[in-house]
Amino acid sequence: MPTQAPPQQAQAAAPVAPPPFRRGVYEVEGTDYDQTKTMATGTVQFPTYTPRVNDWLTGIWFLIECTTASNAATVAFKADAPFSAIDHVTFYDTGNQPVFGPITGYDWLTIMKFGGYFLVGDPRSDISYSATAGSGSTGGSFSMVMYLPLEFVKRDSLGAVENKSTATSYTVEIVLAKSTDVYSTAPTTLGNVRIRTTLDGYTSPQPADPRSGVAHADSPPVPGTFQYWRSENVQLTAGSMSNVQRNGLGFPIRNILYKLVDSTGSRSQGDADWPDPVTVNFGRITLFQRQTKLWLSRMGKNYGLTSTSTDVSLGRENGVYPVWFTDDFGFQPGAELRNGYLVTQVGNELQWQGTVGGSGTHTLYTLTNWIATPGNNYGALTGR
């Protein structure tokens, strides 16, 4: 008799993947902190800010307003003002380690403008922005909205941090700059600076979809991931110069912002003395050797900069040259799948080099944005 085939084993149903985290949560915001200090001829420390619990924290908005009255001087702001009114801001994790900062107020502007978080990120483009110069009674007043980002990929909430414990809290340090950092001609009476914050975040997800019964994801992808922003600087003289950066090496790098100033701190002169071209080498690989006008052209096209003026809304920043690794999904920085990050290892060398113009001492600032996942697993960021 013919041999019978063994009975087929029933195959187990494939597990149902949970829906994306965003499907099971509500996006929420709430006011949190309200403090006022008077600007002075020295720096002024604001009270330490501890963001309240809101389940998952994606970022913090800062409404910063300076109000003057009865001014009789012809007030003039400095080049980095009014953003230079923030001497520095630092966001600390629950272990009291700095994640964002310490960052100056002007560098904070460049992060918002070039970090890939908004369609139009420049705070000067905000319809609520103002800075009043001249001899009017409110001369020296200003209002600006700044954003401290934690989430860095809006599409799937990557970077949102768990914020559920009052026992282990995040903290923010914010220091008001001295008046001479803000004004070249100060108002008759220095103004009061009020800072109010609003938290952005997500609620914790419901256990399951009430219609299908499919369990929701209980956290954003790769929970425990943080993006870092840190600044470092080096003194350079005129002539052929190079610098090997320290921050971010050993992690995937998302953005680098270079800034050159002269011995007086002038970005305008730093821009005039910017090397043409600049070469950036990653080990033995030349990432680019870029002429200044080509760099500006790329910057304008990718960030939508249309003004030929500098230090203005929709214009470039004097002395500031961004390098972005966040457009592997679309044309605009921030349209990212995380496949384009500059993946580095401990011991790698990332070098900036060029011939600095002018004379005397210059300072090159390198502001680096990198991503740290639990176990430093880059594959977890890209799903591989």
pLDDT tens-digit series, residues 253-286: 999 999 999 999 999 999 999 999 999 999 999 9
Q: Same domain, yes or no, for 325 and 359?
A: yes
Q: Same domain, yes or no, for 54 and 157?
A: yes
Q: Same domain, yes or no, for 284 and 230?
A: yes
Whose tokens are 């991931």? That residue is 225
Q: Is 80 exceeded by the pLDDT of residue 384? A: no
CATH number at residue 356: 2.60.120.730
Please report whether residue 62 resides in a domain.
Answer: yes
As a whole number of Å, the end-to-end CA separation of the chain is 51
Q: Same domain, yes or no, for 146 and 112?
A: yes
Domain termination residue (choose one: 151, 186, 202): 202
Q: Are 217 and 209 in contact (CB under 8 A)?
A: no
Task: Write down the pTM of the prediction.
Answer: 0.94
CATH number at residue 167: 2.70.9.30
Please report whether residue 18 resides in a domain.
Answer: no
Q: Are 351 and 243 in contact (CB under 8 A)?
A: yes
Mean local confidence (pLDDT), 49-70: 97
Mean local confidence (pLDDT), 337-350: 96
pLDDT tens-digit series, residues 191-239: 999 999 999 999 998 888 777 778 888 899 999 999 999 999 999 999 9
Total structural domains in the chain?
2
Domain that holds residue 356: 226-382
Q: Same domain, yes or no, for 253 and 176?
A: no
Please report whether residue 323 resides in a domain.
Answer: yes
Please report whether residue 218 resides in a domain.
Answer: no
Asked if the peptide bond before residue 47 counts as cis, ω within 30 degrees of 0, the response is no
Q: Is 60 exceeded by the pLDDT of residue 122? A: yes
Q: Is 60 exceeded by the pLDDT of residue 307? A: yes
Q: Same domain, yes or no, for 92 and 60?
A: yes
Q: Are 70 and 189 in contact (CB under 8 A)?
A: yes
Q: Same domain, yes or no, for 30 and 115?
A: yes
- Residue 155 C-beta-side C-alpha neighbours within 13 Å: 8
Please report whether residue 1 resides in a domain.
Answer: no
3-state SS class at 293:
helix
Q: Same domain, yes or no, for 173 and 305?
A: no
Please report whether residue 208 resides in a domain.
Answer: no
Strands 171-176 and 44-45: antiparallel
Q: Same domain, yes or no, for 281 and 360?
A: yes
> In sequence order, what DSSP letters do the residues of 49-72 get, joined into one string?
B-PPP-EEEEEEEEEEEEE--S--
CB atoms within 10 A of CB 331: 9
Q: Is 80 exceeded by the pLDDT of residue 152? A: yes
User: Among residues 34, 38, 39, 21, which one has the least CA distance to residue 61?
Assistant: 34
CB atoms within 10 A of CB 128: 10
